[in-house]
């Protein structure tokens, strides 16, 4: 139980740090794209599980260090060893807590994240249906050309190489033509250049 407090405290702190970039994107959606605040909050909430998975290991490490530092400070290890407790029995609760965190992380990644992502994608698709033009970005692969160009989920693509993108069909027709070479993309946050790293 002593590990649980620091674990959840650290988890909340890491989630807040991980949400900073997403929050700025959603604020931009709210201010510049006119998307209702409640819908923006829904997208934020459903994106939290994907952020949580990234920080489970850090939260476990943080909580373990906090507990071990407190135990060492109060000389509890010395007292326990003097009382006949083996080192394995002393560290067993920490190992069990780490295993429980692993199970929680596995369940979150395999069950909760796909469910939450599907709902957030459905919300984005509904926004796409109500949008007069453009294509809303729902996902950006880490390390991709779009990611390097600082495109973000929630951005709206209006044109690629000065060719209007008014629907997903337009995007699917135009985008493959510019997979090779640098291309200028008009988005809801202005113009960005997607560079071809293979040149």
Q: How many Å apart are CA 121 and CA 68, to the nearest integer?
A: 42
Residue 117 has pLDDT above 60, yes or no: yes
pTM higher than the cut 0.75: no
Domain map of the chain by residue range? Answer: 4-130, 135-194
Q: What values do phi and psi take at 20, rounded to 5?
A: -55, -50
Comparing 147 with 51, the larger pLDDT belongs to 51
Residue 61: its pLDDT value, please? 87
Sequence-separated (6 or more) residues with CB below 8 Å from residue 40: 26, 27, 29, 30
Q: Is the CB of residue 85 less than 8 Å from the CB of residue 98?
A: no
Does residue 152 surpass a pLDDT of 70? yes
Q: What is the per-residue pLDDT across 3-57, written as a single tens digit (0 to 9) for each?
A: 778 888 888 888 888 888 778 777 876 776 667 788 888 888 888 888 888 888 8
Phi, psi angle pair for 188, to nearest 5°: -70, -15
Tell me which of 2.30.42.10, 3.30.1360.170, 3.40.50.11720, 3.30.450.20 is the CATH number of domain 135-194: 2.30.42.10
- Residues 51-87 have pLDDT tens digits of 888 888 888 888 888 888 887 777 776 777 677 777 7
Torsion of CA 184, 186, 191, 192, to 10 degrees: -50
Please give the residue that has the higher pLDDT: either 141 or 159. 159
């Amino acid at each position: 139980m002593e590990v649980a407090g620091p674990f959840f405290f650290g988890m909340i702190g890491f989630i807040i740090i991980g949400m900073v970039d997403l929050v700025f994107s959603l604020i931009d959606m709210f201010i510049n794209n006119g998307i209702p605040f409640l819908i923006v909050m829904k997208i934020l909430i459903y994106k939290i599980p994907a952020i949580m998975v990234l920080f489970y290991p850090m939260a476990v490490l943080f909580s373990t260090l906090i507990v071990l530092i407190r135990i060492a400070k109060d000389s509890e290890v010395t007292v326990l060893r003097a009382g006949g407790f083996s080192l394995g029995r002393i560290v067993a609760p920490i190992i069990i807590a780490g295993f429980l965190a692993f199970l929680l992380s596995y369940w979150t990644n395999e069950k909760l994240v796909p469910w939450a992502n599907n709902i957030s994608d459905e919300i984005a698709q509904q926004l796409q249906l109500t949008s007069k033009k453009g294509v809303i970005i729902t996902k950006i692969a880490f390390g991709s050309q779009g990611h390097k160009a600082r495109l973000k989920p929630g951005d709206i693509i209006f044109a690629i190489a000065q060719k209007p993108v008014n629907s997903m069909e337009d995007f699917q027709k135009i985008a493959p033509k510019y997979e090779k070479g640098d291309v200028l993309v008009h988005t809801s946050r202005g113009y960005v250049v997607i560079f071809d790293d293979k040149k």
